[in-house]
Amino acid sequence: MAQKPSIPKGTRDFSPEEMAKRNYIFDTIKSVYKLHGFSQIETPSMENLSTLMGKYGEEGDKLLFKILNSGDFLKSVNDEQLLGRNCVKLTNSLCEKGLRYDLTVPFARFVVQHRNEIQFPFKRFQIQPVWRADRPQKGRYREFYQCDADVIGTDSLLNEVDFVQIIDEVFKKFGINITIKLNNRKILSGIAEIIGEPEKIIDITVAIDKIDKIGIENVNAELIEKGISEEAVKQLQPILTLSGDNNEKVEVLSKLLASSEIGMKGIEELKFVIENADLIGVESTVEFDVSLARGLNYYTGTIIEVKANDVEIGSITGGGRYDNLTGVFGLDGVSGVGISFGADRIFDVLNQLDLYPDNAKNGTSILFVNFGDKEAMASLKHIKTLRANGISCELYPEQSKMKKQMGYANNNHIPYVAIIGENELNNNTITVKCMETGVQEEINVEQLVEKLK
Amino acid sequence: MAQKPSIPKGTRDFSPEEMAKRNYIFDTIKSVYKLHGFSQIETPSMENLSTLMGKYGEEGDKLLFKILNSGDFLKSVNDEQLLGRNCVKLTNSLCEKGLRYDLTVPFARFVVQHRNEIQFPFKRFQIQPVWRADRPQKGRYREFYQCDADVIGTDSLLNEVDFVQIIDEVFKKFGINITIKLNNRKILSGIAEIIGEPEKIIDITVAIDKIDKIGIENVNAELIEKGISEEAVKQLQPILTLSGDNNEKVEVLSKLLASSEIGMKGIEELKFVIENADLIGVESTVEFDVSLARGLNYYTGTIIEVKANDVEIGSITGGGRYDNLTGVFGLDGVSGVGISFGADRIFDVLNQLDLYPDNAKNGTSILFVNFGDKEAMASLKHIKTLRANGISCELYPEQSKMKKQMGYANNNHIPYVAIIGENELNNNTITVKCMETGVQEEINVEQLVEKLK
């Protein structure tokens, strides 16, 4: 036999069981997005490389999957260039297109390209795969789905409140206990300003983020190493050791940041979101976390991250506000805020906590055993009635041994088997066997519909 | 401003309205597949080129999108090979992966790779995009969805009957009148055998297929030109001019093919499918069409093609039986039968006939106008109640001018607008305006739920 075929590393096949679970995740997120008035869009899997390159940093450019031009892909390369073997430069000549790396840049491109057809504020969601030529490892794939929602063309903080609500509702539906961590980029800017190190904001937030992992002593040492003055590090201490509930933290920071206009603006925004989320009945824990600094180069206001309370795993959802999503494509002044659910991690969390509802594993409800042509045709008529009532059912296609047919039901987790033999043909009935209990009963098709509905 | 961004030719963005329509199509097909006991799988967008190459003919190999290897993609190419500029050969060194070209080959690969986990007969459906580097033209795209279902590991013709039923049910749901055309490869083999030209079966069926377009005279001339004897062409005449209903056609062919074992087997199979589809209550026209020869190199038994009766457009669904799907990956003896719905053409047909149901255009049911913080918070509480009842609704995020907010509702086709001012705050009511009629009424939230449910 030929070598067993395989798939590229970092990619996955999804079995029926996995697909049912994944659909449960996507459908749940989608239903909440829709309840909140978001509309779905899709963009092509491939974008022009000019759209993608330079948007994810130098490292990101390397991680883009590029598509070889069709036909004579060497036509614009001369011999000298070829022999130069500069792969980065040659890529630009050999490839015009690449696979999308995330949903955000294609969305920005979409908004600019279709700006005359779009009604602002524009609330869109998008659930599609993305591709990254990352080194594959446990839990990191080269093809994975993102589930993004964004509102653009509005500065209102009510949008942030809406997203906190969406997160709360989605995870309530999943039955996953979460903590919604909030921060605000303006607070981080205020901190850098107050301690007189506005240029060092990235170093400072990276350090704050490490406290849990390496401890305060090491963080302080690292800050000094990065060239931050001892005085500034001293000033940072109340922030690094910030504790208590949201009100207490806000109180401490309000004092520290009193003289920073941008810092106080950040605190005001944070308070608005936390207070209104509470007023509107968000039940998940909402926690102000000043160490939250994800996507710092990108977010300009609210920063959101979600952790599962009962499973050790990274962030399962994240997002924030950005001021100039579309500027890179020449359309300035479009502010937006958005979130992204991490479907693969949510899949793992639901598996670990065994939280999938039974109907997320749904398949065929009842298998009709095949005893021959006459019985099969009688079965098909009953099957038609069942399907008209929305019940998934099937006839075993061959007149195989009973054992084989029952094995099919068993292996496919089909809960009931219907048997139509001579008796049942004469009585116009169906003998129904429950696969779990083994109990059999002879009923008519209306009763069967009632039973399975 | 920078140049307006664009997308690669042959690809598409889908707007919220288009997405709603597309989801209606996919969801309808999916629901019928599930009612018939099919399980969904997904395979990666990229496959190893060794899996894809050679499966679609030389032309197909050219139409595969190939992905440039990451890093130093020239490392296995020497200078001489580079300067040779043989693009076809070089592709094998530069690229290991390609985008899937259809869902059939990845499915065959899936079956062989996972054969120890699969329960046969295996009934799977798969709805995913495929990519082809075809010359883009009207109605032909470089990225498009296929909606396939296949049953493998069973020879039973009941599977064919099941697919005819599935097709009938799907298009009944869409409200599209169709003709399901059936043929059988064994009948075509029988014809070639009887006229003594078994080697010319492809030429003969290509010719038969052209009768409608070029007429019988030209077809005869073409057959002679292809080297088929005058005697054979003469024998072919009753077939080329076959007419009448299915029974009449079958009768004529039964006489002609009486001495061909394979031909008679084909007729027997065809009759089984047509008769049982009728018995089981298939309402669409089922027509035996001996000129149907699609995928000839591939199908070995039943051939299925669906035409829309009221729109001039090519086949909107097709399929058939194949005897050795997985042989190319080293697993012999796996017979199967499958169909594929053409989502893009169905999209066009539904548009042309204006058959989309209202709920296929669904979005937000009601927009709450924003008059300020106090009113907004009251609105959000009502909105929470509405959403708990499954009603999509949203608050306009900014306290903009009434005209702008109403314009938003209008442009997004939101049927109702809710207004909460001082009066409504005091009365704990909501003034609801119907955007179509302009009629307003002041009701409470329970009444609003009833109204919109």
Q: Do B7 and A37 touch (CB under 8 A)?
A: no
- A263 near A169, Cβ under 8 Å? no
* CB neighbours of residue A108 within 10 Å: 25
A218 in reach of chain B (CB within 8 A): no
* pLDDT the model gives residue A239: 86
Mean pLDDT of B390-400: 95
Q: Do A68 and B91 touch (CB under 8 A)?
A: yes
Q: Do B12 and A151 touch (CB under 8 A)?
A: no
What is the Cα–Cα distance from A284 to A277, expressed in whole angstroms?
A: 10
Strand partners for B40: B125
Using a CB-CB cut-off of 8 Å, the residues of chain B touching A412 are 39, 119
Q: What Rg do the C-alpha atoms of chain B give, in angstroms?
A: 29
* pLDDT the model gives residue A362: 66
* pLDDT the model gives residue A295: 62
**Nearest CA among A325, A292, A30, A29 for reference residue A151:** A325
In this prediction, residue A189 has a pLDDT band, given cuts at 50, 70 and 90, of: very high
What is the Cα–Cα distance from A115 to A263, expressed in whole angstroms?
A: 33
- Residue range A325-362, pLDDT digits in tens: 898 899 998 989 999 999 999 999 999 999 998 877 66
> ipTM beyond 0.85?
yes
Measured on CA atoms in the order B144, B149, B152, B154, is the torsion positive or negative? negative
* Region for A227 from its dihedrals, namely left if φ exceeds 0, alpha if ψ lies in -120 to 50, beta otherwise: left
Which of B75, B158, B368, B374 is the best substitution to test chain A (most A C-beta atoms within 10 A)? B158
In this prediction, residue B270 has a pLDDT band, given cuts at 50, 70 and 90, of: very high
* pLDDT the model gives residue A198: 82
* pLDDT the model gives residue A438: 95
Share of chain A above pLDDT 70, in %: 98
- Residue range B326-338, pLDDT digits in tens: 988 999 989 899 9
In the predicted structure, residue A63 carries a pLDDT above the cut 90: yes
Mean pLDDT of B395-411: 95
Q: What Rg do the C-alpha atoms of chain A give, in angstroms?
A: 29
In this prediction, residue B390 has a pLDDT band, given cuts at 50, 70 and 90, of: very high
Mean pLDDT of A85-106: 94
Q: In terms of pLDDT, which residue wins out, B196 or A151?
A: A151
Spatial neighbors of B257 by CB under 8 A, at least 6 apart, are B187, B190, B191, B194, B263, B264, B266, B267
* pLDDT the model gives residue A2: 54
What is the Cα–Cα distance from A366 to B39, expressed in whole angstroms?
A: 14
Compute the mean pLDDT over every residue in chain A, rounded to the nearest whole number. Answer: 93
* pLDDT the model gives residue A4: 83
Q: List the 270-329 stretch of A: residues with Cβ below 8 A of B.
A: 276, 279-281, 329
- B222 near B210, Cβ under 8 Å? yes
* pLDDT the model gives residue B296: 61
- B372 near B425, Cβ under 8 Å? no
* CB neighbours of residue A197 within 10 Å: 22
Mean pLDDT of A201-227: 85
Strand partners for A409: none
Cis check for the bond before B121: say yes or no (omega within 30 of 0). Answer: yes
* CB neighbours of residue B58 within 10 Å: 8
Q: What is the pTM assigned to this prediction?
A: 0.93
Q: Do B394 and A112 touch (CB under 8 A)?
A: no
Using a CB-CB cut-off of 8 Å, the residues of chain B touching A131 are 45-46
* CB neighbours of residue B388 within 10 Å: 11
Share of chain B above pLDDT 70, in %: 98
Q: List the 353-372 stretch of B: residues with Cβ below 8 A of A.
A: 363-364, 367, 370
* pLDDT the model gives residue B35: 96
- Residue range A249-285, pLDDT digits in tens: 999 999 999 999 999 999 999 999 999 999 999 999 9
Point out the least confidently predicted range of A194-198, A369-373, B302-306.
A194-198
**Angle in degrees, 0-180, between the axes of helices A185-194 and A246-256, rounded to the nearest 10:** 40
- Residue range A19-61, pLDDT digits in tens: 999 999 999 999 999 999 999 999 999 999 999 999 888 889 9
- B340 near B163, Cβ under 8 Å? no
The whole-angstrom distance between A367's CA and the closest CA on chain B is: 9
Instruction: Return the ∠ at Cα A137 (arms to A136 and A140), rounded to 5°.
Output: 80
